[in-house]
Each structure stands twice: as structure tokens, then as C-alpha cells.
Amino acid sequence: MVTRLGQESFDATATITRIRGFDGECPSQSNNFCCVDATEDLSEFRGLVNINKTQYCFIAQINSDDQHRARFIPANELLEDPSGKPRKMQPIIQEMILGRKRGVMLIPECEDDAVDVIAGLIEQGFQDLASEYRDFIIGQLEKAKA
């Protein structure tokens, strides 16, 4: 799907390589095939792809009528480290993205890891979840101090 959408967005001769999730791995069952949301009506996929030797973050959606759309954003505009190397806390970030409708909030072991989670959520297009998570972490710190 990402290859097809990339060719539609750029051109039919675009060279599309290295499709992977934000975990750095090729789409597979272990990273939910880069799916970050799925309902009966719409599925959304996010990750990284190289198009014509430039790395992009992709956001691809397909609805129940098999209609699709995608955005390709140059990775250097979004990622702190545009090398494509996954964030240290990417497994927690992915679990929170997939569990956001159930209110999944995971607490990392240290403050730097919490900052990494927030930055990763923002980079991957989940600003509202990053804000909720920041408020949650601040609340946990205040409880611990009390």
C-alpha cells in the first residue's frame, strides 16, 4: 500500500525502499504492520519510507470502501534524529498509541525516558496523546511528592 501511495504522490517511477515502522523494523505482525488505528471504517498506518533516496514519515489511511490517502513528510522536519534509528522507548510509544482508546499510560523508569516517550508521540503525530501523557506523568510526580 505504501509503495502504491508513494508512486501516486510522487510519480510512477519513484524509487521506494526501506518501508518500516518507527521501531525501525519492516512491517510485520510484531509492529502491527505499522497500523496505529483500526476501526470498521478506517485503518491508519504510520512509519518511515525512503522515496528517491530521501527519508519520509508516512501517514496512510484506507477506508472500508478501499479508498486511500497518504501524506509523506520529510523525516528531517519531524524527527529529532532523522537517521531512522528507533527511539529507545519506541515499544512503550507503540503500545500507548495502540492502547490510547483504552487509556493505556505506561510509566518509564526515569525522567529521560518519559521525555523520550513524549517526544516520540509528538514526532509520530499524536500531540494530544503526548499532552495527556505529560499531564499524567506530572500528576504521578505530584502524588509521589505528597
Q: What is the mean pLDDT of each run of 10 residues along the chain (146 residues)?
A: 84 88 82 80 87 89 86 78 71 82 80 86 86 88 80
The reported pLDDT for the residue numbered 120 is 85
How many angstroms separate the CA atoms of 60 and 47, rounded? 9
How many angstroms separate the CA atoms of 22 and 128, rounded? 19
108 Rama class: left (phi>0) / alpha (psi -120 to 50) / beta: beta
The reported pLDDT for the residue numbered 52 is 92
Do 24 and 31 contact (CB within 8 A), yes or no? no
Q: Given the C-alpha cell 517526544, which residue does it identify?
A: 119
The reported pLDDT for the residue numbered 51 is 92
The reported pLDDT for the residue numbered 144 is 79
Question: Nearest-CA neighbor of 100 among 121, 131, 129?
Answer: 129
Burial of 144 (0-12, 13-18, 19+ CB in 10 A): exposed
How many angstroms separate the CA atoms of 65 and 25, rounded? 29
Q: Given the C-alpha cell 532523522, which residue does it identify?
A: 82
The reported pLDDT for the residue numbered 91 is 82
Q: Given the C-alpha cell 501511495, which residue does it identify?
A: 5
Alpha-carbon distance values, 58 to 16, 50, 134 (Å):
12, 10, 25
